[in-house]
Copies of this chain bind each other. A is one copy, B any other.
């Protein structure tokens, strides 16, 4: 299996659909549209939608059914990056090899572009909701994106110095901040397959999210700004709580291996799971 090729095929398919979805951005302030498209169409790994489409294919869920959710999820992920990069948040000026949204459009327009993407994500879902399946999927999406999911994790992250600097605090941040949207990508397709393998996929999603974060911290430590398309060593230099600052590089690598193993055990009884096995290995071996 040439997994890289398979990943890129999924990604290309999604990129085309994502681009199409922005064709409906009309009838409003031009700078707002421009700011929204700038971050949405800036490339990136498209990890969450690719994951969602792969799980859908494994479970035999129709692509047209799942696509609005994959697009909505990428809108939500993108809004969170725009807001995360703001001067009062992480204050980052580089993302995916390009200046961040507020550097180009100003802080005020960047806040609004994020807000507009979040509203639009739900608008897309509402335009495609109807079945009990889709309503369940929508509830998961909004819950995992909000205060008890991604936003909650962001809040823990900015307040993390108020908590003990332990692995438990770090887990709490990332099982929400990174983990919940990755888990949503995996369980939403299950909603459309009558909750088939729901719990196993949830476990896989959680472990994959954790793995994603550990490797992110490792890459921040070992990689270059050019390779990553964003400023690196920033977390390490800021003495921020990361898996590398907390465990050291060697133990962080070992933790990544254990987590990969846990992810693979979770899906061992799912038929045609090869692509999901390869995806987890891809996460641990990724270079950016």
Measured CB to CB, the residues of A under 8 A from B are 25, 27-29, 31-33, 36, 79-80, 83, 86-89, 106-109, 111-112, 114-116, 118-120, 122-123, 126-127, 129-130, 135, 138-139, 142-143, 145-148, 151-152, 154-156, 158-159, 176
Contact = CB atoms under 8 A, between A and B. Distances in A.
A79 B147 CA distance: 13
A123 B135 contact: no
A9 to B, nearest CB: 31
Contact of A135 (B83, B112, B119, B130): B130
A47 B228 CA distance: 48
29 contacts: A28-B148, A28-B152, A28-B155, A28-B156, A29-B152, A29-B155, A29-B159, A31-B155, A32-B151, A33-B147, A83-B111, A83-B112, A83-B115, A109-B158, A115-B151, A115-B154, A116-B147, A118-B118, A119-B142, A119-B145, A119-B146, A120-B142, A120-B147, A122-B122, A123-B139, A123-B143, A123-B146, A126-B139, A129-B135
A226 to B, nearest CB: 29
Contact of A118 (B89, B115, B155): B115
A201 B25 CA distance: 27
Contact of A111 (B25, B111, B176): B111
Contacts of A28: 147-148, 152, 155-156, 176
Given A28-B156, A32-B151, A119-B146, 5 more contacts: A27-B148, A86-B108, A112-B154, A120-B147, A123-B143
